C-alpha cells in the first residue's frame, strides 16, 4: 500500500489520469451519434463527471402537492450553478428560501413520475374536461389530502385505476401527459451544452413508479439522446419490469431511441424488483436482455442506503438505514418490519452470481451510482450542510420553513460519477452502459478501480497507473475473464479526497475497502477487506459543535491488492468502498445552526430534542461505492 | 335552561370550535366539525370514484378520531355545564352557557388556533379559514 498524506493533489491527479488527456492506450469507447460540436476537452483516459440522475420537479404529483413550483428548466439551471428558490412562497410569489450548489454538476436528468403526469396537468388547466371534477377541485383546495387519496389508488397498489375523468381506458389522462412530457424533453434539450465547451449534459428521462402492496418498484428510465417515446411508459401501462422493457423496446423501435433503466430504493422494494434464483425466471437470453437494459443500480438516495444490511458483519453497513421496509409504514413504528430478501445491493448482486452459476449468464451484472431523488428540483444538492429537506414524504414545507427540514431517517442523498472521455451524451451514455460509474454519499471524492491479472504490486508509484490500468485489465464495471495459470486477480484502487471549496473544505479519507461477493456451492458469501488505511484517521468532529479536529486522514490513498482467498472455479465480484473520516451529519448541523447546547436545556426546542437524546446519529462516514468488477470462471 | 341543554349547547360549540389533534398521515389541530367535513368528503370520493386505495382506511381513521374526540368533548361539556350550574344557579345558567359558547366561537373565528396541513393556503388558520 502506498499512502499520500497531506495534499499531493497533483501527484494523485496524475495517478488518476486527470492530467493526461494526451496519453494513449484506449480507443474511444463510444460511438458518435449526435449532431453537435466535438468537445474541446477530450481525455482518452477518461475524466470523472459528477451528476444526478434522479430529480423531481413540480410536474411530479407528490412534489406538486407539497408546494413545489420549480419546473424541469429550473432544475437544470440549478444543476448548472444558478440559485433556486424553494417553497414556502410569500404572498407575492417570492420563494422564502434559496439554495445554490457550491459546485455545478456536469450532468443531470429530470426524472418526474410518469404516473399522474396527465392527471396533474388536467387538474391545473382551467377549461380542461377534468378541471371541475371532484378530484381536481379537491386537489386544488386540499392538495396534500388529495395526494394521499390519489397515491393510494394509483401509486401504492398492485392494480392501479385511473379516475373516471380520464375517460374510456384512461385515454384522456394519458394523452394529457404529452404536454408535460414535452416540457421535460424541451428543458433537457435547452440545458444540453452542444458547444465545444461541453459544460453540461442533460438526459431526457422519467421515473416509472410502481407500488404493488405499498412496496416501491421504481426505476428511472434514461434515454441516450433527444429521441424518446411520444409518451413515457408508466406503471399504469406496464406493471412490472419485464413489461416495461418490452414496451420501451417497442416504442424505441418506432422512435429510434435507446434507453437504460436504473432501479432505486431496493431497500423499500420488498424484493419485488428482482427475481430470486429459486424462481428459475431466466434463460440465457432473458438474463442478457435484463443486464443490457439495467446496467446500474442506485445504491443511495434520500430514502436511505441500499448497499448492505445493517445486521451484516460489516460494521460500516450500519449507514443511513431506514427503520421501516415500506414507505407507508413510516408513520406507524409498531408496524416496522426488517427488510426482506433481495432488498440490498449485495443480496441482489450475489443472487446474480447464483443465477450465473446455473445458466451461465448474470442478469444482475450491475454497477452502482447514487442520487438525490430531490423533489425540490434541487439536482445534486447532496451536502450535509444547509440541507433543505428533500420535499416529499418528509415534513410539510408548503406553508412554513420547518426547524428540522426532513424526517430524521432521511438524508441528502448522493451523486453519480461517470468516467467518460468527454462530457457529451454519447460519451456519458456509453459510460452508463459499460458501468464505468460510481456513487458517492455526497462528497466529490475521485476513485479509480481496476482489476487485472498482471498488475505489479508497486503500480501505485507509477505515473502511468491509469494507462496500465486500462491496458492490462478492466475498469470498474468491467468483466474479468478466466484466470491464466491459476493466478489471483489484482485490484488497484486509487482514491482522492473531495478537494472541497474555499468555504467548505473536503474531508480526508479514512480507508479503502474491497468487498468481495462470491458463491460457494449455492451459498452466497461476502467478505470486506481493509486494503488501505490512513494513519491517524480516527479523529472525528466534536459531536456537539461539529468543530473539526486537526488534520487527520489522508488526502489520497492508493493500493494494489491481490485476493488472498481467490478460487478460480466460482463466479465472484469485487467492488471498492472509499470511506471518509467521520464528519457531522445534516441533523447534527441543524442542532449546531440553532445553537443547541445540551448542557443548557433552555437552548433545546422541542423539535430539536433529538439533538441531545441520542435518537439520531450525529456523525456520518461519507463514502463512495464503485461499480463491481465481475469475475467469471471458464465455462 | 336545564343542565342537559346547557351541556348540549357547550358540546356543539366545542365540536365546532375546539381544536383537537388529529392524525391522517400528517398531524394537525382542527375542530371535530372539520373532521366530519373530511369524512363527508371521503365518503363522496367513494361514492363517485369507488373505494380503491386507502379510502376505507381513511374513513376508519376519521370515524375513530371523531368518536374519540366527540366523547371527550361531551365529557368536557358535561363537567363545564355542571360547574356553571353550581356557580351561577339555574337562573344564570343560560346566560353563562351562551356567553361561554359565543366566546369560544368568537375566539376561534378571530385567532389562528388551528394547524391545517391539508389546506393549500397558510398552515395556521382561524375557524372561518378552516372551512374555506
Indicate the length of chain A as a whole number. Answer: 635
CB contact under 8 A, B55 and A396: no
Judging contacts by C-beta atoms under 8 Å, the chain B residues touching residue A148 are: 24-25, 54, 58
All 3 cell numbers of residue A445? 471524492
Which of A153, A154, A331 shows the shortest C-beta gap to B25? Answer: A331
Paired strand residues for A572: A518, A631
The nearest alpha carbon in chain B to A136 belongs to B45
For residues B6 and B85, is the Cβ–Cβ distance under 8 A?
A: yes
Question: What are the grid coordinates assigned to A582, written together?
Answer: 467521520
pLDDT at A161: 85
Coil vs helix vs strand at A171: helix
Contacts of B119 in chain A (CB under 8 A): 141-142
C-alpha pair distances (Å), B122 with each of A84, A315, A566? 22, 45, 63
For residue A76, the model assigns a pLDDT of 98
Grid cell in block for residue A207: 421515473
Segments of chain A scoring below 50 in pLDDT: 1-10, 20-26
Question: pLDDT value at position A170?
Answer: 93
Contact A224, A257 (CB under 8 A): yes
Whole-number pLDDT of residue A484:
67
For A43, half-sphere exposure in the C-beta direction (CA atoms, 13 angstrom radius) is 20
Better-scored residue on pLDDT, B119 or A501: A501
Q: What is the pLDDT of residue A25?
A: 40
Domain map (residue ranges) of chain A: 2-446+454-631
**Distances, alpha carbon A552 to alpha carbons A368, A434, A577, A585, in Å:** 29, 36, 19, 18
Q: For A104-148, how does the pLDDT look when each residue is reduced to its tens digit (9 = 90+)?
A: 999 999 999 999 999 999 999 999 999 999 999 999 988 888 988
**Cα angle, residue A16 at apex, residues A14 and A21 outer, rounded to 5°:** 65
3-state secondary structure A270-299: CCCCCCCHHHCCCCHHHHHHHHHHCCEEEE
Q: What is the DSSP letter of A487?
A: P
Looking at the domain A2-446+454-631, which fold is it?
TIM Barrel (3.20.20)
Residue A480: its pLDDT value, please?
94
Q: How much is the pLDDT for B59? A: 95
List CB contacts of A70: < 8 A, sequence separation 6 or more: A57, A58, A78, A84, A85, A86, A376, A377
Question: So what's the pLDDT on residue A18?
Answer: 59
Tally of CA atoms within 13 A in the half-sphere of A131 that contains its CB: 6
Higher per-residue pLDDT: B124 or A434: A434
Mean pLDDT of all residues in B37-44: 95
pLDDT the model gives residue A521? 83
Write down the pLDDT at residue A279.
Answer: 83
Please say whether the beta carbons of A76 and A191 come within 8 A: yes
Nearest-by-Cβ selection for A164 from B25, B49, B53: B49
Contact residues, chain A, for B23 at CB < 8 Å: 331
Q: What span, in angstroms and rounded, lies between the C-alpha atoms of B3 and A589?
A: 57
Pairing of strands A2-4, A556-562: antiparallel
- Residue B52 and residue A143: Cβ atoms within 8 Å? no
CB atoms B55 and A153 under 8 Å:
yes
Question: A128 is written with which cell numbers?
Answer: 380542461
For residue A400, the chain B residues in CB contact (below 8 A) are 123
Tell me which DSSP letter residue A125 carries: S
In order of A20, A104, A416, the CA distances from A444 in angstroms are 20, 12, 10
Amino acid at each position: 500500500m502506498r499512502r499520500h498524506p497531506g495534499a499531493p493533489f497533483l501527484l494523485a491527479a496524475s495517478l488518476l489520469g486527470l492530467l493526461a488527456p494526451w496519453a494513449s492506450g484506449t480507443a474511444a469507447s463510444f460511438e458518435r451519434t449526435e449532431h453537435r460540436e466535438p468537445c474541446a476537452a477530450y481525455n482518452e483516459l477518461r475524466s470523472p463527471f459528477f451528476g444526478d440522475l434522479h430529480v423531481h420537479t413540480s410536474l411530479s404529483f407528490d412534489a406538486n402537492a407539497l408546494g413545489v413550483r420549480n419546473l424541469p428548466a429550473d432544475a437544470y439551471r440549478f444543476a448548472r450553478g444558478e440559485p433556486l428558490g424553494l417553497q414556502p412562497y410569500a404572498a407575492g410569489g417570492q420563494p422564502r428560501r434559496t439554495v445554490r450548489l457550491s459546485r455545478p454538476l456536469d450532468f443531470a436528468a429530470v426524472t418526474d413520475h410518469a404516473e399522474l403526469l396527465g392527471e396533474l396537468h388536467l387538474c391545473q388547466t382551467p377549461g380542461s374536461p377534468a378541471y371541475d371534477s371532484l378530484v381536481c377541485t379537491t386537489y386544488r383546495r386540499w392538495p396534500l389530502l388529495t395526494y394521499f387519496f390519489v397515491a393510494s389508488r394509483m401509486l401504492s397498489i398492485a392494480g392501479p385505476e385511473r379516475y373516471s375523468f380520464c375517460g374510456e381506458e384512461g385515454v384522456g389522462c394519458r394523452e394529457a401527459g404529452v404536454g408535460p412530457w414535452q416540457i421535460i424533453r424541451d428543458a433537457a434539450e435547452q440545458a444540453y451544452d452542444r458547444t465545444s465547451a461541453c459544460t453540461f449534459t442533460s438526459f431526457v428521462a422519467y421515473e416509472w413508479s410502481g407500488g404493488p402492496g405499498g412496496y416501491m418498484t421504481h426505476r428511472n428510465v434514461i434515454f441516450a439522446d433527444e429521441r424518446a417515446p411520444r409518451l413515457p411508459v408508466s406503471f399504469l401501462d406496464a406493471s412490472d419490469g419485464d413489461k416495461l422493457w418490452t414496451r420501451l423496446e417497442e416504442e424505441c423501435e418506432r422512435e429510434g431511441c435507446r434507453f437504460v433503466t436504473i432501479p432505486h430504493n431496493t431497500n423499500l422494494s420488498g424484493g419485488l424488483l428482482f427475481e430470486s434464483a429459486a424462481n428459475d425466471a431466466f434463460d440465457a437470453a432473458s438474463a442478457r436482455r435484463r443486464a443490457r437494459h439495467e446496467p446500474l443500480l442506485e445504491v443511495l438516495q434520500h430514502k436511505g442506503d441500499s448497499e448492505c444490511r445493517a445486521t451484516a458483519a460489516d460494521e460500516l453497513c450500519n449507514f443511513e438505514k431506514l427503520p421501516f421496509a415500506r414507505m407507508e409504514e413510516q408513520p406507524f413504528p409498531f408496524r416496522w418490519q426488517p427488510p426482506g430478501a433481495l432488498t440490498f445491493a449485495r443480496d441482489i448482486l450475489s443472487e446474480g452470481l447464483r443465477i450465473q452459476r446455473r445458466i451461465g449468464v448474470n442478469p444482475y451484472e450491475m454497477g452502482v451510482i447514487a442520487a438525490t431523488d430531490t423533489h425540490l428540483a434541487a439536482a445534486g444538492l447532496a451536502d450535509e450542510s444547509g440541507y433543505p429537506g428533500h420535499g416529499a414524504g418528509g415534513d410539510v414545507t408548503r406553508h412554513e420553513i420547518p426547524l428540522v427540514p426532513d424526517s430524521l431517517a432521511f438524508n441528502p442523498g448522493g451523486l453519480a460519477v461517470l468516467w467518460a472521455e468527454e462530457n457529451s451524451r454519447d460519451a456519458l451514455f456509453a459510460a452508463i452502459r459499460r458501468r464505468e460509474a460510481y456513487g458517492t454519499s455526497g462528497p466529490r471524492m475521485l476513485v479509480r478501480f481496476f482489476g487485472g491479472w498482471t498488475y505489479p504490486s508497486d503500480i501505485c508509484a507509477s505515473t502511468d497507473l491509469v494507462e496500465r490500468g486500462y491496458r492490462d485489465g478492466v475498469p470498474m464495471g468491467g468483466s474479468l475473464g478466466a484466470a491464466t495459470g491459476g493466478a489471483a486477480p489484482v485490484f488497484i484502487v486509487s482514491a482522492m479526497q473531495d478537494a472541497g471549496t474555499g468555504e467548505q473544505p473536503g474531508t480526508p479519507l479514512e480507508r479503502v475497502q474491497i468487498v468481495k461477493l462470491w458463491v460457494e456451492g449455492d451459498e452466497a458469501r461476502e467478505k470486506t477487506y481493509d486494503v488501505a488505511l490512513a494513519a491517524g484517521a480516527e479523529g472525528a468532529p466534536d459531536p456537539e459543535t461539529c468543530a473539526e479536529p486537526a488534520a487527520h486522514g489522508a488526502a489520497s490513498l492508493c493500493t494494489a491488492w491481490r485476493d488472498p482467498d481467490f478460487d478460480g472455479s466460482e463466479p465472484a465480484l469485487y467492488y471498492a468502498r472509499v470511506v471518509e473520516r467521520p464528519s457531522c451529519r445534516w441533523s447534527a448541523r441543524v442542532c449546531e445552526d440553532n445553537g443547541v447546547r445540551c448542557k443548557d436545556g433552555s437552548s433545546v426546542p422541542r423539535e430539536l430534542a433529538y439533538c441531545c437524546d441520542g435518537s439520531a446519529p450525529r456523525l456520518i462516514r461519507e463514502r463512495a461505492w464503485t461499480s463491481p468488477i465481475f469475475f467469471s470462471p471458464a465455462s | 335552561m336545564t343542565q342537559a341543554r346547557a351541556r348540549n349547547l357547550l358540546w356543539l360549540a366545542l365540536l365546532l370550535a375546539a381544536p383537537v389533534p388529529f392524525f391522517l398521515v400528517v398531524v394537525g389541530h382542527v375542530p371535530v366539525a372539520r373532521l366530519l367535513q373530511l369524512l363527508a368528503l371521503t365518503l363522496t370520493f367513494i361514492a363517485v370514484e369507488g373505494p380503491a386505495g386507502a379510502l376505507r382506511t381513511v374513513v376508519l381513521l376519521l370515524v375513530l378520531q371523531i368518536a374519540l374526540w366527540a366523547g371527550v368533548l361531551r365529557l368536557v361539556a358535561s363537567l363545564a355545564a355542571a360547574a356553571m350550574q353550581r356557580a351561577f344557579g339555574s337562573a344564570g345558567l343560560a346566560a353563562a352557557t351562551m356567553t361561554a359558547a359565543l366566546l369560544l366561537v368568537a375566539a376561534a373565528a378571530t385567532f389562528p388556533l388551528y394547524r391545517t396541513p391539508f389546506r393549500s393556503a397558510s398552515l395556521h388558520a382561524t375557524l372561518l379559514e378552516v372551512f374555506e
